[in-house]
Each structure stands twice: as C-alpha cells, then as structure tokens.
Structure 1
Amino acid sequence: MGTLLALAICLGAVTTAYAISSIIHLLYNIREVRKSGLPYIILPWHEMNPFHVLTCGFNRELWQYLPKWTYFKFFWRDWCHHTKFELFKEYGDVICAVSPGGVTIYVGSVEVARQMYERRNDFPKATKVYEYVRFYGDNVLTLEGAEWRRHNKYTRPPFSEAVHKVVWDEGIKQAYAAVNVWSRGNSGVMVGRDLRTISMNVLSLSNFGVALSFDCGNETTEHFGQKNIPPGHKMSYGNAVNHVLDNIIPLAIAPKWLLRNGPESLRKIGRSYDELGIYLRELTQTGGRAATSGRRNLLGSLAKASVGDGREKGPGLADAEVIGNAFIFAVAGLETTTGTLHYAIIHLALNLDVQDWLHRDLQEALKDEDQDPSMWEYEKVYPKMASVLCVIHETLRLYAPHAHIPKWTADRYQPVNWRGRECLMPPGASAYITTTALHYNPSLWGDTVKGFHPQRWDLRSSSEGWVRTDQETGVKTPITPPETPRTETQSAPYCYLRTPVKGAFAPFSDGWRACVGKNFALVEMTAILAALFRDSSVRIKRQEGETQEMADDRGRSAISNSEGYLTVMIRHDVELEWVRR
C-alpha cells in the first residue's frame, strides 16, 4: 500500500511539474509571437505533443460527432491537405500556432513565401523534418549549409539533358508496355502499384544503368527486378523497394533491433530495409549491371564521390553518405511521380471532356511522327507536349506531393513584410510554406480553383485566363501576365504555358533548394502520359449493378480520401477500364 501511495505521489508530482512547465513555455511563446505583429492561435496539443500524436489518426473520423468548430481541424494530422485554403481564409494567410512545444508559422501568403525563398540564409531548410529518410545515411535532402553543398556537388550534375533523353525513351517504353497489358480484354485494373513499377524502372535505368521490364513474367535481368531473388538475397529488388515505401513510418520510428527480432510482420519490414541496403551497396560498388549508352548517370557520379576530388578540390562522400544518396534518388522521386500520375489518370477518367481535349492535342502534335512511340525523339517531340504539361501542372496544383515546404527562422528574429507592415518572426520557430494553401487561393487562381481544369495553363486556348471575380461588384481582375516569355531551354514547351504569380506554384519547392529532379520528373511524366493517352481512353470501371455515375462517385471518393504520409497519395485505389481508340 505504501509503495502504491509513493508511486501515486511521484506520478502526481511529475504531472504537476509537466503541467507547470508547459504553461510557462506556452506563456513565453505567446509573448514572443505578440512581438511579431502576426496573428496567432493557441494549440495546446500541437508540435508532436503525445496527446496530439495519439489522437490525430482518428479525430477526422470523429468530426461528425464534434461541434462544427473550424478550430478542431487544426488537430488533424494532415489538416493542410484536407482543408486547403479554408483555415487560412478564416484565420489569415499567415497563421502562427503557439503551443508549449514552440511556435509554428504556416505561410499561405505569396508575399511572405517569396521573401522566404529569396532569403535562403535567413530561412534555412528545416532538415529535422527529413530524419525519417536518413536511416541509410545523410544525403542531399537531409542536410543544409556547407554539408549540403558538398553532397549537391555530386548529385546535381547527372540531371542533364542527356539523362532526360534516357528518361523520355524509357518512360515511353514502360508506359506503352503497361497500356498493352491494361487494355487486354474488358478487365479492370488498379494502376497505382503498376505506376510505381513503371517509375521504379525508369529511375533504375536512368540513375543506375539497370534495365527492368514492366512485364515481370518476362524478366531477363540477372540481378535486379520485381521477381528475381539472386543468390545472397531473401527478397527481390522490386519487393524490397515496395515494402520499404509501404512501411516508411515504422522504419523511421521503430528501433532496428525490434525490426529484426520482433513479430513476423516487423521482421519482414526489417528484412526489406536490410535487403534494399544490400542492393544499394552492390549497385554503388559494382557500378551497376548495365550502362546507359556511356552517358553519365547518378551511379557514376556517386562512384566518383566515394573517391573524392583530391585534397585541393575538397572531400568526397563517405560510404554511408553514398548509400544515403543512392536511397534518396532510388525512392524519393518514386512516390511523388507515382502519386501525381495516379491523380492525373483518375481525374482524366472522371473528366472525359478533358481527356478528349488531351487526345485531340496529342493527335495534332504527333501527326507527323512515327506510329511506333519508341521512335519518338525526345528533342523533337517533347517541345510539342504542351497539353500534357498542362495536365501535369494542374494535377500538381491540386495535389502537391508535399503540403509544406519546411523552413525555420534559425537563431534570430526574421523581419518580413506582410500586408504593408514589417513583422518579426521569432527565433527558433518552424516556418512552413504551405503549398496547399497557395495552390487553392482563389485570389491567385480564380473562382474555379477547386476544379480540375488543365486548360487554365494553356496560352493557346481561347479562355480568358486566370481571373478573380468580385462577388459584390462582379468585376473580373486578371491574375497572370497575358504572355509567358520563351525559356532558354528550347526543348521545354513552356512557351505555351501560362506562368503563375511568382511563389504561388511550388510543387517542387522554389528558390535555392528547389528539387534538383524537377525537369527529370516532368519529362518522365510527360512521356508516360503521352504514351498512355495517344491511342487509349480510360474510365472508372463499373461494378455489377452500377451506373457510370455511381462508378465515378467511387473515383471521386478515392481522391477525397487521400492521405499524406511520405507524400500525399490515393490510398484506396479503384479499378479502371482502358479502351483502345
């Protein structure tokens, strides 16, 4: 009895001390935010508080039973993805969330976002957010400052026009093989996992020189593939990649000894982690099992990095850093590309008028090209793919892979101009540029901001462009410049696309730390969609007893129930029906 009483007293003392400490920290943080001149809200269970972590997974499902108070939505785990611009419209386009754990600033103001992009030293990248992708070693995504520059030196050069040509050719090859499989008979197919396979195969060849076939049943690759399990391995390369991506959260938070000695479900996760690490080491040590026609790729650059440039030019990368970067480029672009393609295809299935517009434009652009897609030359055909780029950009606007671009204010107050006055962001504050808020702001994109309208990007169309209509006066105000200047890169078809307000569109981030693989991803997605929709159409497959409208409702539900983990993706796939035109 005495022991229980002592434990109760100790527990009460600890709880009281924690509560007092939390109140003190909260009051201090409120005082700091008040100095800034920015509006703020108090979120007592924010900043990874245990209560928030335990409840955020299911509180959105409880919404129907709670008072309809918008404030509660801040406690959803992925609230920015689900609420879009709603909370910024109510609380302001810059929201300071104050909790005992610190100050978190969510930026939905294009004015403030531009300043944060331009002042890279004042608003460095919050690398702590990316701890979950450094379990093989530090890499270009998890570092900042001088260390980032050292990694960037070796990982940026491979993303060149020569590699983009490999990406183009392989993307077309993989997509054409896929649509031939999908359009067989009248069967429905869920394309989500197949799109990941296509993207993984493109990355494998362009980055590592390893050619993989979409048709797993005809694999001839000696060492890598979806099904092949070579000597010394317990899983195929494809299965290891897929299982790591499917279980990125347990891998990030569970200790490795538990993953290797726990229940079978955890041991399988541990095996996939170990197996992928072995594959990546084999790739970097042997130089790959195939070569991309002598072109320089990421694998060659990492091999050079492991040796270094000599004492005069600076150090190279340690073995763990080489593996860490190989992992990032093997999987980081995989989920973002897969997710964007998945959203684009389902939206096209739900919007047959847009699909017909895309098909007509492709027919016009490709009328002088060979009927065999494998003969489409990158330098000649890619510049004519403006309509495909419109579809991709609109998809990225609606479903940016990441809801936030994480930055922080370092160790000092950071002044920003907001609504005509100077405000001070407090030191040590997390500062997230919220892409979903910027992408859904009607003042930047017009009244149709929530709809899927790829034609809004097309300068060749007769539409009036992006406008905002004043609800009281009915006056329409143009949002974007009437013309877009031609880019220096002749192979890019951006001369036919409208340019958003600077800072308003950032699916690949922006500024100094913009994604190095942006053009790589755009070329890959363009090649895949062009090959898929040149001669085929797609719709949501009806189940027995369904009308097409009922089937489309399931497709819309799959999109609306998307969730963000590593990236924002469709988690509950629907069957699609592919038909040759």
Structure 2
Amino acid sequence: MKFAWNESSRQTQTDLGGSRAMLHYWNCQGKAGIPDMQEDLRTLSINVLAATAFLKPYDFIGSTDLRNRESSTESYRDCLHVVLKYAIFLMLVPYRFLTGAMLPHSLASIGRAAMSLKGFMMNIITEESAALSKGKPVSGGLITSLVRALDQKTPQQPDPGDFIRETKRSGLSVDEILGNIFVINIAGHDTTANTLVFTMMLLAANPEVQGWLHEEIITVTQGKPIGDWDYALFEQLKRCQAVFLETLRLYAPITGLPKITSRGVQILHIGDRPLAIPPGTEIFPLLLGIQTDPSYWVDPYVWRPSRWILHPKDAPEVREELFVPQKGTFFPWSEGPQNCVGKKFSQVEAVAVLACLFRDHRVCIKTRAGETEEHAKRRAQDCVNDVNYQLLLKMNHPDRVKLECMKV
C-alpha cells in the first residue's frame, strides 16, 4: 500500500497541529509537571490516526480533562480509545455478551463502544464503496485503498452477519476489510504511542541528546514557524529519526515476529550450513535478540542515538547521513514483501512530535526532595527497563517518574 505524497503531507500537518496542542497543554502544567505523559501521547497518536487514516479530526484533550469526561459512543475516537484500552478483555469476552441491561455500567460501556466502533467502520466502508461505484470523489484516506480491494460479489451495503465466503475470490470480503481496519487501528496507534513514551523517558534521562536534537531542528527549519513546516523537512531531520530508531532497537513494541513456512521446504542458511525448515513450521524470530547482538551492535544495551548518524568522508558537502543496518539485523517493522504498511506513517509521526517539542522546549525529570540529578536520571532509566508484555512491550509504571516541560 503506497504512502503517497498527499497522504504524507496531510499527516505531517495533523502531527504538527496535535503536537503543538499537546505542547501547549504540557506548558500550562508549569512546575506541577505533566499529569500523565503516557495518556497524552496515546491521545495524540489516536488523533493523528483518526484524522489521517479515517478523516475524522478531533481536538487534543489533556489527560486531566480526559479523566473527568464520559466517553461518548457517538465519537469514533472515544469508541476506539475504549476498545484499544480493553483489547485483551474483548479478545476473551466477545462484545455481544457485554450489551445486556443487567451488566454493570463499566462492562456495558465497553460493549457499547465496541458495537459503535464496528458501526462506524461499516458506515465508512459503505460510503466509500458507494462513492467508488458511482465515480464520485472519495476520501483518499487509508480506507479507500482497502475498499478498492472489496470483492465485487460482496453487496455494496452488506449485512455484517451475512458475508459471502468463497474459496476463490478476486478481492477482500467485508469482514476481512473490518479486520484490516481494526489491525491498522491497533498497529497505527499503540505501537507508535508506546515507542514515544519510551522515547520521552529516555530523553529526560539523557538531556544532552535533547540538545543534540535541538541543534539539528534549528539548523534544518531555519527559523520557519512550525505552522509552515511540511513533509519535505522529514528526510532532513536525521537525528530525530535516529532517536526513534534507537528506541525501537532496544524497546520495540513487538519483540518477536511470528512466521510460518509455506507449502514448500524453506532453506535457511546459517553461516555455511543450510538448514531445511519443513512446510507449515512456525518460527518466531526475536527482534530484541538480533537487535542487541554484539556481533552487529557496539555496546548493544546502551541507548545511543548517535550510532545512527554517519559523517561521510568522501562527500564533505553532505553534513550527516542515516546509518543503514545490515539486512536482517534491524527489523521492527518486519522485512520483505509483507513488512508493516505503517512504517512511514509511524516515522513521520515520531519525527514531527520530536521536532515540534524540542525546537524550543526540554523535557526534564522532576527531582524529589534531596535527590540529585544523577539519581533522578537513574530512576528514569530504571523505570524504562521495568516492562511487561501485554500485546505490546510497555513500561509498568511510567507515572513513577514525573516529567515537566520547560521552554528553552
């Protein structure tokens, strides 16, 4: 699925607008510190996804205000927020069992959110399909690409409970499109948001890297107002990309990639020795294993974004280049023809957030009474390394380390 220029430009503007709103909210907190850095980054990420992929823009709501408001089943964003928050629970308990009148409000609200989200997605599919069939303008979002692949034998306004299932089809069925949309929601939201949470905490523990970023951002943007930035700046912000890539190297949201061999025998070469893998064998390449292998990475467990920046000696006119790892040694988006279609989407989002934030601001750790700055840094690093794996790699208690946003 091609990530077109107009989609990239639209996403960049959405990223920057959302980042500025979040930055304003963080600034307003003053010395009290950021109430909930993790929740704010999740909100930012979900807003970007809703506006870019599904053309449903929303204003940024800070974590304090979000906590005090009732989620609305009339809002695509609110429904998506609830479903993603309780994704594991909904995998165990189908939402159709959570809509009964006798259920507690907390459970019923999850069921209603899941039901409304599916309704939203069905409406989007129906509207896009009808527009395509009549030759009318379509949204141009990510959904359009999926609807174009809709099996023409599927009704234009399908009943979700009456899908056409055939062994040989020319396109996707409606339930397959719904499944893809839901996966895109999870993959396009939680993965990037989680990585940004790790990134912010690591940057707070390494303030010198923030200065390193600031130097690049000032040089590249040349005083241009944030509102005038565009996608063309993305490729030039190599240090911002390096910070994101280094975080993914050590804290990839998906630590392993389940694969299965096809109908034929697959030959895997380990050094000079061929290894035959029988058909239908499940394998599980571990990202963190290869991405921290000292054979390929110097000081593999040290978070050092500068390792991704090269200074080419044979091309002095080129200031800095981005390091390209050896094939098969870094693949947080997987590799090959079935790699993640959201790779560029997540990169643009992360770079936009970092550039917007660290142009004029710094993220600092709020020290405790009698605590030295060095001890506070160690506390933040310990927090980063205290993780769990529930669908994705996450910090257990990021709220243990309070951060504050300060203007330079």
> Which TM class, normalised by the smaller chain length?
0.7 to 0.9
Deviation at 1:168, TM superposition (A): 1.0
Q: Who is 2:404 aligned against?
A: 577
Amino acid aligned to 1:352: P
1:353 counterpart (208, 223, 230): 208
1:149 counterpart residue number? none
Evaluate the alpha carbon distance shift between residue 307 and residue 227 of structure 1 in structure 2; reply closer, same or farther with a 3 A threshold.
farther
**Is 316-325 or 433-442 further displaced after alignment?**
316-325
SS at match of 1:415: strand
1:247 is matched with 86
Residue 406 of structure 1 is matched in structure 2 by 258
CA displacement, residues 550-581 of structure 1 (integer Å, 9 cap, x when unaligned) = 43333223211112222112231232110000
State the distance in 1 between where 2:125 and 2:170 align. 18
CA distance in 2, matches of 1:168, 1:408: 36
Q: What's the counterpart of residue 69 of structure 1?
A: none
- The question of 1:186 aligning with 2:31 is answered yes
Shift of residue 392, structure 1, vs aligned partner: 0.9
Does 2:38 align with 1:211? no
Matches for 1:193-342 after TM superposition, within 5 Å: 193-215=39-61, 234=73, 236-256=75-95, 258-261=97-100, 264-286=105-127, 296-306=140-150, 308=152, 315-342=170-197
Deviations 1:405-444 (A, max 9, x none): 1112345553322232222334443211111101000110
Deviation digits for residues 458-502 of structure 1, max 9, x if unmatched? Answer: 0139xxxxxxxxxxxxxxxxxxxx989xxxxxxxx9971111111
> Do the aligned partners of residues 257 and 179 (structure 1) sit closer, same or farther apart at CA in structure 2, a change above 3 Å counting?
closer
Counterpart amino acid of 2:390? Y
1:146 alignment partner in structure 2: none
In our comparison, the structure showing a higher alpha carbon Rg is: 1
Contact 1:459 1:483 in 2 (8 A): no
Match of 2:310, SS?
A: coil
Q: Does 1:173 align with 2:14?
A: no
Partner residue, 1:393: 245
Q: Which amino acid aligns with 1:342?
A: V
Q: Which residue of 1 aligns with 2:286?
A: 434
CA 1:419–1:263 in 2, change beyond 3 Å: closer, same or farther?
A: farther
1:526: Cα distance to partner? Answer: 0.7
CA separation of 1:285 and 1:183: change in aligned 2, threshold 3 A: same
Give, in angstroms, the shift of residue 265 of structure 1: 4.5
- Counterpart selection for 1:541 from 359, 362, 366: 366
Instruction: Spell out the pairing of 1:125-204 with structure 2 (5 A cutoff).
Output: 156-157=1-2, 159-184=3-28, 185-189=30-34, 190-204=36-50
Q: Is the 8 A contact 2:47 2:77 kept in 1?
A: no
For the structure 1 residues 428 and 170, does the alpha-carbon distance in structure 2 shift closer, same or farther, using more than 3 Å as the test? Answer: same
- 2:295 counterpart SS class: helix
Gap regions ≥5 residues in structure 1: 1-155, 220-225, 462-481, 485-492
| Cα 1:278–1:526 shift into 2, 3 Å | same
Equivalent residue, structure 1, for 2:164: none
CA displacement at 1:357 relative to structure 2? 1.1
Query: What code does the residue aligned with 1:554 have?
Result: R
Cα gap change, 1:244/1:178 in structure 2, threshold over 3 Å: closer, same or farther? same
User: Could you say if the C-alpha distance between residues 279 and 554 of structure 1 is closer, same or farther in structure 2, counting changes exceeding 3 Å?
Assistant: farther
Task: Check if 1:455 corresponds to 2:300.
Answer: no
Aligned counterpart, 1:374: 227
2:55–2:139 CA contact under 8 A, matched in 1: no
Alpha-carbon distance between aligned partners in 2 of 1:178 and 1:323, rounded to the nearest angstrom: 31
Q: Secondary structure at the match of 1:390?
A: helix
- Name the amino acid aligned to 1:376: W
Q: Which amino acid aligns with 1:346?
A: M
- Residues in 2 aligned to 1:343 and 1:284: alpha-carbon distance in whole angstroms: 35
CA distance in 1, matches of 2:191, 2:96: 30
Post-superposition CA distance 1:208-263 (Å, at most 9, x none):
1121111479x9xxxxxx9697xxx6464333222222222221122445434565
State how many pairs are aligned.
376
Q: Per the alignment, do residues 253 and 411 of structure 1 end up closer, same or farther by CA in structure 2, a change over 3 Å counting?
A: farther
C-alpha distance in structure 1 between counterparts of 2:70 and 2:105, whole Å: 22
1:507 equivalent to 2:332? Answer yes
Instruction: Return the letter of the residue paired with 1:577.
Output: E
What's the secondary structure of 1:347's corresponding residue?
helix
Within a 5 Å distance, the mapping from 1:93-108 to structure 2 comes to: none
Report the Cα offset of residue 451 of structure 1: 0.8
Using the size of structure 2 for normalisation, the TM-score is 0.83
CA, structure 1 residues 294+403, in 2 after alignment: closer, same or farther (shift >3 Å)? same
